[in-house]
């Protein structure tokens, strides 16, 4: 995927890769330090993490995982997940804009292929076919309400709900 190399124009970007919703790596633009087997394992974990976060009902648009020396930016694309490994000092607004442009330019891939041919098959998905259970919250009258239409995102950041 030649489109991925455009992300390296942003200072602080080490490389990028694309993961299908199944966890298979579809393309990469990373230094040789990142081995195919490790990338295949990482791809399945990222796909499962995003699936768990989307289980609340709201689609995941962008996710940033912060580590000691770098960040992993994940953005939803029509082919799956666009992942970028960048330094802590990367210009985040510029990276988000570039991620949006690259995500639109990614080619549609119908049959995902694995980077590592001997990689293990991805584990089963965590998403169930059942509808999410509505939490019982007290209404203004004091009685618990389990109306599913009133259920909002269960995601929080530092103890506060994310809207």
Range of the domain at 95: 2-105
Does residue 151 belong to any structural domain of this protein?
no
Give the C-alpha separation, 105 to 15, whole Å: 17
Residue 76 lies in a domain: yes
For residue 130, tell me if it sits in a domain. no
Q: What's the confidence (pLDDT) of residue 107?
A: 78
50 found inside a domain: yes
pLDDT digits (tens, 9 = 90+) for 18-65: 999 899 999 999 998 888 898 999 999 999 999 898 887 788 889 999
- With contact defined as beta carbons under 8 Å apart, do 7 and 13 qualify? yes
- For residue 108, what pLDDT is reported? 64
Q: Phi and psi dihedrals of 143, rounded to 5?
A: -85, 145
In the predicted structure, residue 111 carries a pLDDT above the cut 90: no
The pLDDT assigned to 113 comes to: 46
Q: How far is Cα 43 from Cα 18, in angstroms, rounded to an integer? A: 8
- From the list 72, 105, 78, 77, the residue with the least C-alpha distance to 90 is 72
Whole-number pLDDT of residue 109: 53
**Do 5 and 27 touch, CB atoms closer than 8 A?**
no
Residue 10 inside a domain? The answer is yes
Total domains present in the chain: 1
Cβ contact 81:19 at 8 Å: yes
Judge whether 121 lies within some domain: no
Write the DSSP symbol of residue 89: T
| pLDDT for res 120 | 45
Q: Supply the pLDDT for residue 57.
A: 79
Assign residue 94 the CATH number of its domain.
Answer: 3.30.450.30
**CA distances, 87 to each of 17, 51, 64, 72, 159 (Å):** 16, 25, 12, 9, 27
Q: What are the tens digits of pLDDT across the range 122-162?
A: 443 333 333 344 444 444 444 444 444 444 456 777 777 77
Q: What pLDDT does residue 7 have?
A: 92
What is the structure's pLDDT at 163?
A: 67
* Structure-token match 């768990």, residue found: 52
Query: How many residues would you count in the chain?
Result: 163
* Reported pTM: 0.64
Q: What is the Cα–Cα distance from 39 to 45, expressed in whole angstroms? A: 10
Is 64 inside any structural domain?
A: yes
Q: Please indicate, yes or no, if residue 81 is contained in any of the structural domains.
A: yes
**What pLDDT is recorded for position 54?**
87
């Amino acid at each position: 995927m030649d489109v991925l190399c455009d992300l390296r124009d942003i200072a602080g970007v080490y490389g990028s890769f694309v993961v299908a919703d199944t966890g298979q790596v579809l393309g990469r633009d990373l230094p040789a330090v990142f081995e195919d087997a490790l990338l295949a394992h990482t791809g399945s974990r990222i796909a499962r993490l995003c699936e768990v976060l989307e289980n609340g009902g709201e689609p995941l648009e962008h996710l940033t995982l912060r580590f000691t020396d770098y960040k992993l930016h994940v953005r939803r694309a029509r082919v799956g997940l666009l992942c970028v490994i960048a330094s802590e000092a990367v210009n985040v607004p510029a990276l988000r804009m570039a991620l949006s442009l690259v995500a639109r330019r990614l080619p549609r891939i119908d049959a995902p292929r694995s980077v590592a041919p001997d990689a293990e098959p991805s584990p089963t998905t965590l998403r169930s076919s059942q509808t999410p259970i509505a939490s019982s919250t007290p209404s203004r009258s004091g009685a618990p309400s389990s109306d599913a239409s009133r259920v909002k995102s269960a995601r929080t950041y530092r103890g506060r709900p994310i809207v």
